[in-house]
Amino acid sequence: MQWYYADNGKQVGPVSEADFQGLVKSGVIQAQTLVWTAGMSGWAAYGAVAPAAPAVASAPGVGAEGGVCCECGKHFPQDELLRYEGSLVCAACKPVFFQRVQEGAAVPGTLRFAGFWIRFAAKFIDGILVGVVNMLVSMAFTFMAVRAVASGSPGGMIGIQVGAWFIQMIIQGSYYVYFHGKYGATPGKMACKIKVIRADGTAMTYGRAFGRFFGDMLSGLTLCIGYIMAGTDDEKRALHDRLCDTRVIYKD
Tens of pLDDT along 210-236? 999 999 999 999 999 999 999 988 889
Q: Which of 60, 111, 19, 25 is nearest to 3 (CA)?
A: 19
Using CA of residue 40, residue 46, residue 50, residue 55, what is the dihedral sign? positive
Model confidence band, residue 74 (pLDDT cutoffs 50, 70, 90): confident
Model confidence band, residue 63 (pLDDT cutoffs 50, 70, 90): very low
The amino acid present at 25, given as its one-letter code, is: K
Model confidence band, residue 191 (pLDDT cutoffs 50, 70, 90): very high
Q: Which of 51, 191, 64 is nearest to 126 (CA)?
A: 191
CB atoms within 10 A of CB 173: 16
* DSSP code for 27: T
Of these ranges, 9-18, 87-96, 155-164, 170-179, the one predicted with the greatest mean pLDDT is 170-179
The amino acid present at 6, given as its one-letter code, is: A
Q: Which of 168, 171, 148 is nearest to 158 (CA)?
A: 148
Select the more confidently predicted residue: 13 or 209. 209
Residues above pLDDT 90, as percent of the chain: 38
The amino acid present at 216, given as its one-letter code, is: D
Would you say residue 103 has pLDDT above 60?
yes
Instruction: Report the alpha-carbon distance of residue 175 to residue 218 in Å, rounded.
Output: 18
Per the rule left: phi > 0, alpha: psi between -120 and 50, beta: everything else, 193 is left
